[in-house]
Amino acid sequence: MNMVTLLAKAVSHARGRRISMFLAVSASLAPWLGCARVLTISQDDIINTASERDGEWLHVDIVCVYPEDLENPMNQALDPDGTPITAKVWEARRPTGVPGEGRFELPKKQVYYLSHKKDLYGTWRGRGLSGAKLDGTETIRISGIEFDSSKWHKTGSVIYVFPMFAGRDGSVLPTQPVVFNPPGDFHRDLYVKIGTGSGHENQFIKITTKRKLHTGKDAE
């Protein structure tokens, strides 16, 4: 075997080892790679109008829940297959990181929020919503919502989007949140709509993303 052939075989062998190593590393990192979700909120010109006719800023919470979180008795109300939770219940029991207060107990990294306040429990992702008219934009894009991809399809895995609509007395209304259950059944980019229907108290949040079926087809 001449020198050229030996050199070619050595290069090929080295390349093969690098490819094998790359594949092995990629496989080991697979559960953590590409796990961030993006939520796009579409908002009406004026929102959160029950207590103020011209609307007021709206606090929004995005909450990631895993099956192991539901093993904690304090978190049973977050079970997507249980009694539907409302924004009012979430607000009353919003976690603070201090156990024993009768509140939900979730890691800080699983709670994201939009608010004019930046010192709340969770990860701040921008100002509260003021409606497209005041914000100057109909769509708000929230990136970097981390969710463990190895649990995308597991029973008990869910992403909630809670809108803290205010009632006439200023308290949070019992609005049912948007529920992505389980997150793996939806496209990576998630879309919701927040608005006001007929009458200023008919505020709503609804899912507008397409759900990906196991057949490979999409359904509204």
Strands annotated E in the chain = 36-43, 60-65, 111-114, 123-124, 139-146, 158-163, 178-180, 189-196, 203-207, 211-212, 218-219
Q: Show the tokens assigned to 150.
A: 């190895």
pLDDT tens track for 28-43: 333 334 468 999 999 9
Q: What is the pLDDT of residues 76-125, one digit of tens each?
A: 999 999 999 999 999 999 999 998 899 999 999 999 999 999 999 999 99
Contact 191, 42 (CB under 8 A): yes
Q: For residue 183, give the 3-state DSSP assignment.
A: helix
Per-residue pLDDT tens over the stretch 135-146: 999 999 999 999
Segment 3-60, tens digit of pLDDT: 444 434 443 444 445 434 333 333 333 333 446 899 999 999 999 988 777 788 999 9
**Cβ contacts of 146 within 8 Å, gap of 6 or more:** 35, 36, 37, 64, 109
Tell the residue number behind the tokens 């209304």, with chain if given: 173
Neighbours of 219 (CB within 10 A): 8
